[in-house]
Structure 1
Amino acid sequence: MQTYFFILAALLYLGCAFLPSERRLPISIGTVAGWLLHGGALMADMFAPEAVRVGFGVMLSATLWVSVAAYWLENRNFSLDSLRVLVLPVAAVAVILPSVFPGNMVALTGKSDWFLWHIAISILAYSTLTIAAFHAVLMVLQESRLHTRPGPAQSGWFSMALDRLPALLTMEKILFRLIAFGFILLTLTVLSGVVFSEQLFDKAFRWDHKTIFTLLSWGLFGLLLAGRKWQGWRGRTALSFTLTGFAVLLLAYVGSRFVLEVVLHRILV
């Protein structure tokens, strides 16, 4: 049953992604309907009595579920309609991943009470930094459009949506607000994973590719925030750090889990 809800949510996301900007009410209602279907099916698929499903498909789907909510809320406060053409198609793909790559169920018996909190915080961290990466892509497109004279082929609805974005300085403030919040959540994720590894995962902390990539991403975002505060970093420097940090973070969990689950057929927590 969840599979049908996942597919319906994906279709709603795709439909809303490519509606003209003027159809604000259908876009808003369709996005919320898709988000509710996505979330309900995801929760039913993830949780069972005394067990939780983990895997790169579930994690990516949950990350995009939160990212869609973040887009919808931000679009209430600022004119960020062009962000939906980036977020919703990716969410439409992510929403069906748990059906294709289900991962594995992990028994909660004997696990620390903080195990689910660790998963929830890590999903929120990845989601916040995912929407920050989408936001950075939007800023790259916005800056590029400012330096080129739009021709007839560049006057589509997406180009007009770019023209309605807030000023780059406002976009930059939103970006750093997202990065700062995501960095705090990522810090909590790292600390809980390092300090309470044995209680959370029933094994001592170890240096593996997942840990190294996560810490590298954490360092990149931390350096960006420090550079912003002490050196006034902005513009292309900020965008490059954001996209690089996100790419490394993506490799930390989603990339490594994909290799382990799909390529090597290994089941890990």
Structure 2
Amino acid sequence: MILPSASPLAWLLALATAVAYALAAAVASRAKAEHGHLAMAPAWTLHAAALAWGLLGSTPHFGFAAALSMTAWLVLTTYAVERQLFPQMRTRWALCALGGVSVLLAALFPGRPLHVSASPWLPLHLTLGIACYGLFAAAVVHAGLMGRAERQIRLAADSNSGIPLLTLERLTFRFVSAGFVLLSATLVAGWLFSEQLYGRAWLWDHKAVFSVLAWITFAVLLLGRSRFGWRGRSAVRVLYAGAALLLLAYVGSRFVLEVVLRRAI
């Protein structure tokens, strides 16, 4: 089956967003720390418009690339909020690259059309899942900053993260906790209301198996932290493992169907 292609307007929005992110990365690297984040506002707005067109346009689509693009946008939104508290955060270049690549991927692989006969509760279910992805992605970003800060401290150098190490650790696990709650809600909704959402009973397919494995991994991580005080590299490795399993659950399975097997259903 031939995969659907993005509309001309979707491509225009994607290209404009990618250019805006590139400009933001260039400008932010030269601007003062307290003003550099303003360069990302136009790109963030265009990214939101591209996402809205993909879901609300003449032919709404959704797929693995759209999920990645929404996740990137949520991470950028989290960054924008945190910069109000920690103006010295220095991750703009990497996040601009993440946003630009993800929005172009969403235009290149727009995914399957959302049928009008779908359940009215399906958008809520998708929203829970994407919000879950966004929270765990934010946790992974903060875990990466935490690891870099620890290495810099061992070398007696400036951590360059702009956030104290203990604050980074607290933020990381707050995102994990919130993501775990949403992941639990998403799995329960999919299990109990699968027939209403998708017109079929719950299936133990790749998406379900990887999602449950991710849930178990995050549950072990939170239990280990609360009962045994897990922290540092060991906890971060478990976080990365759970995030990888969650990525394989929807994004990985849809990538195989849409790109490898060339199927839009």
TM-score (norm 1): 0.88
The equivalent position to 2:131 in structure 1, one of 118, 124, 128, is 124
Q: Which amino acid aligns with 1:176?
A: F
For structure 1, the 5+ residue unaligned runs are: 151-159
Q: What secondary structure is seen at the aligned counterpart in 2 of 1:107?
A: coil
Q: What secondary structure is seen at the aligned counterpart in 1 of 2:66?
A: helix
Identity among equivalent pairs (%): 35
In the alignment, structure 1 residue 210 sits paired with structure 2 residue 207: yes
Q: Aligned partners of 1:101 and 1:236: how far apart in 2?
A: 35
Q: Which amino acid aligns with 1:262?
A: V
Q: Aligned partners of 1:172 and 1:265: how far apart in 2?
A: 41
* Aligned equivalent of 1:93: 101
In the alignment, structure 1 residue 140 sits paired with structure 2 residue 147: yes
Change (3 A) 1:2 1:26: farther
Change (3 A) 1:35 1:253: same
Change (3 A) 1:263 1:243: same
* Aligned equivalent of 2:32: 23
* Aligned equivalent of 2:179: 182
Q: Which amino acid aligns with 2:141?
A: F
* Aligned equivalent of 1:262: 259
Q: CA deviation at 1:261?
A: 0.4
Deviations 1:187-238 (A, max 9, x none): 1111111111111011111101111111111111111111111111111122
- Is the 1:125–1:185 contact (alpha carbons within 8 Å) kept by the matching residues of 2? yes
* Count of residue pairs brought into register by the alignment: 256
Q: What secondary structure is seen at the aligned counterpart in 1 of 2:69?
A: helix
Change (3 A) 1:58 1:130: same
Q: What secondary structure is seen at the aligned counterpart in 1 of 2:250?
A: helix
Q: Aligned partners of 1:238 and 1:217: how far apart in 2?
A: 14
Q: Aligned partners of 2:35 and 2:43: how far apart in 1?
A: 12
- Is the 2:25–2:96 contact (alpha carbons within 8 Å) kept by the matching residues of 1? yes
Q: CA deviation at 1:258?
A: 0.9
* Aligned equivalent of 2:110: 102
Q: CA deviation at 1:82?
A: 2.2
* Aligned equivalent of 1:35: 44
- Is the 2:24–2:43 contact (alpha carbons within 8 Å) kept by the matching residues of 1? no
* Aligned equivalent of 1:234: 231
Q: Aligned partners of 1:21 and 1:221: how far apart in 2?
A: 39
Change (3 A) 1:229 1:264: same
Q: CA deviation at 1:30?
A: 2.2
For structure 2, the 5+ residue unaligned runs are: 1-8
Question: What is the Cα-based RMSD across aligned positions, in Å?
Answer: 1.9
Q: Aligned partners of 1:164 and 1:192: how far apart in 2?
A: 38
Deviations 1:230-269 (A, max 9, x none): 111111122111111111111111111111101101223x
Q: What secondary structure is seen at the aligned counterpart in 1 of 2:91?
A: helix
- Is the 1:60–1:254 contact (alpha carbons within 8 Å) kept by the matching residues of 2? yes
Q: Aligned partners of 2:128 and 2:102: how far apart in 1?
A: 19
The equivalent position to 1:245 in structure 2, one of 242, 247, 250, is 242
* Aligned equivalent of 1:198: 195
Change (3 A) 1:105 1:80: farther
Change (3 A) 1:200 1:227: same
- Is the 1:46–1:54 contact (alpha carbons within 8 Å) kept by the matching residues of 2? yes
* Aligned equivalent of 1:156: none
* Aligned structure 1 segments of 4 or more residues deviating by more than 6 angstroms: none
The equivalent position to 2:160 in structure 1, one of 159, 163, 167, is 163
* Aligned equivalent of 2:6: none
| Superposition map of 1:68-79 within 5 A | 68-79=76-87
